Chain A
Amino acid sequence: MKELSLHILDLVENSIQAGATQIDIKIDETHLHTHIKITVTDNGKGIDPAMLAVISDPFVTSRTTRRVGLGIALFKAASERCEGIFSIQSRQGNGTTVTATFAIDHLDRAPLGDLGATMTTLIAGYPDIGIRYHHILFQDSFTMNTAELKSGLDTVELNDPAILSRIKEMINDFCKQ
């Protein structure tokens, strides 16, 4: 993956496959003043302990379309090669939390990338999923809660092209500062 924002898209994809309806994405660019911390939490069906123990092995997957599952393995490797720590916590029936840190100035750290594109892809691609996005950047922070926006707009979908492009613009403006 060329960007950390693509890993985030992939993690959310896992959550949706696990039946999640609500996903929290948190990005903290000031973790310990040296690291970026990415956390994805879902309310999916969770992972059983036996699976959890081997989840970052690429030859383990719950999917039946193919026999290798690279997403978690790639995310873990990306974190560990930039002096980061990866962890995954899950309880069956209670959802899953995946956390990884990345040393900000490590040579091998991929850029955060186009988070606006990741968010609009999720909102447009999975209109029924609730997404909370929280991004901390030094003194500043940014939040988006799709459930709040949907109820405020009095519509079930945020899929209007003009709205999607506005969301993308706002997120990327924040990330650029």
Chain B
Amino acid sequence: MAKISVEDLKRIKEKTSQESSLRGGETTVKVTVHMGTCGIAAGARSVMNTLLEEKAESNRTDIKIVAAGCLGMCSSEPNITVEIVGQEPIVYKKMDPNKTRQVFRRHILKGEVQTDFALGKG
């Protein structure tokens, strides 16, 4: 029987913990992926996995990526909400892996809101 074991993950953790300890544990950016049935059917899972890949590449531990339920805007799914501390939250619509990469690299890392994909503020 195969199993994901603690020992296996511990080795990986040891390798990466030195790098991540350089940054504080505080969250400065929160990205929410909306995962109702509509969002999932429209591709929210690939958007989530793209965000996780980008976060891994950026080496930023202050970025938090979470999931939440339906936003009520089914026709514009997949939606994500980007909240940077001290700034207004921005909701992005009809995301796909490419747009997600652009939002991550331009908005989250550089602070440039990608108005072309934005659904609105709040």
User: Contacts A6-B40, A148-B6, A152-B10 given: A117-B46 contact, CB under 8 Å?
Assistant: yes
Check: B35 CB closer than 8 A to any chain A CB: yes
User: Contacts A13-B36, A65-B70 given: A142-B2 contact, CB under 8 Å?
Assistant: yes
Q: Pick the contact of A65 from B4, B48, B72 — CB < 8 Å?
A: B72
Contacts of B2 in A (CB 8 A): 140-143, 170, 174
> Across the interface, do B13 and A164 meet the contact criterion of CB distance under 8 Å?
no
> Across the interface, do B35 and A162 meet the contact criterion of CB distance under 8 Å?
no
> Across the interface, do B1 and A125 meet the contact criterion of CB distance under 8 Å?
no
> Across the interface, do B52 and A120 meet the contact criterion of CB distance under 8 Å?
yes
8 Å CB interface, B68-93 against A = 68-72, 74
How extensive is the interface on chain B, given as a class?
35 or more
Contacts of A164 in B (CB 8 A): 52, 56
Q: Pick the contact of B67 from A74, A117, A121 — CB < 8 Å?
A: A121
* Complex: chain B residue closest to A142, CB-CB: B2
Check: B119 CB closer than 8 A to any chain A CB: no
- Shortest CB distance B48–A (Å): 5
Contacts of B49 in A (CB 8 A): 117, 120-121
Q: How far is the CA of A120 from the CA of B33 in the complex (A)?
A: 13
- Shortest CB distance A22–B (Å): 17
Q: How far is the CA of A127 from the CA of B65 in the complex (A)?
A: 10
How extensive is the interface on chain A, given as a class?
35 or more
8 Å CB interface, A121-177 against B = 121-122, 124-127, 140-144, 148-149, 152-153, 155, 158, 160-167, 170-171, 174
| Residue of A69, A143, A144, A161 with most chain B CB atoms under a 10 A cut-off | A161
> Across the interface, do A66 and B12 meet the contact criterion of CB distance under 8 Å?
no
User: Contacts A124-B52, A164-B52 given: A71-B37 contact, CB under 8 Å?
Assistant: yes
Contacts of A148 in B (CB 8 A): 6
Check: A92 CB closer than 8 A to any chain B CB: no
> Across the interface, do A153 and B35 meet the contact criterion of CB distance under 8 Å?
no
> Across the interface, do A126 and B67 meet the contact criterion of CB distance under 8 Å?
yes
* Complex: chain A residue closest to B15, CB-CB: A162
Check: B66 CB closer than 8 A to any chain A CB: yes
> Across the interface, do B9 and A143 meet the contact criterion of CB distance under 8 Å?
no
Check: A63 CB closer than 8 A to any chain B CB: yes
Contacts of B33 in A (CB 8 A): 125
* Complex: chain B residue closest to A128, CB-CB: B66
- Shortest CB distance A123–B (Å): 10
Q: A13-B40, A161-B52 are in contact. List 14 more A-B contacts (CB 8 A).
A: A1-B40, A71-B37, A121-B35, A124-B48, A125-B33, A125-B67, A143-B1, A143-B4, A144-B3, A152-B6, A155-B13, A160-B16, A163-B12, A170-B8
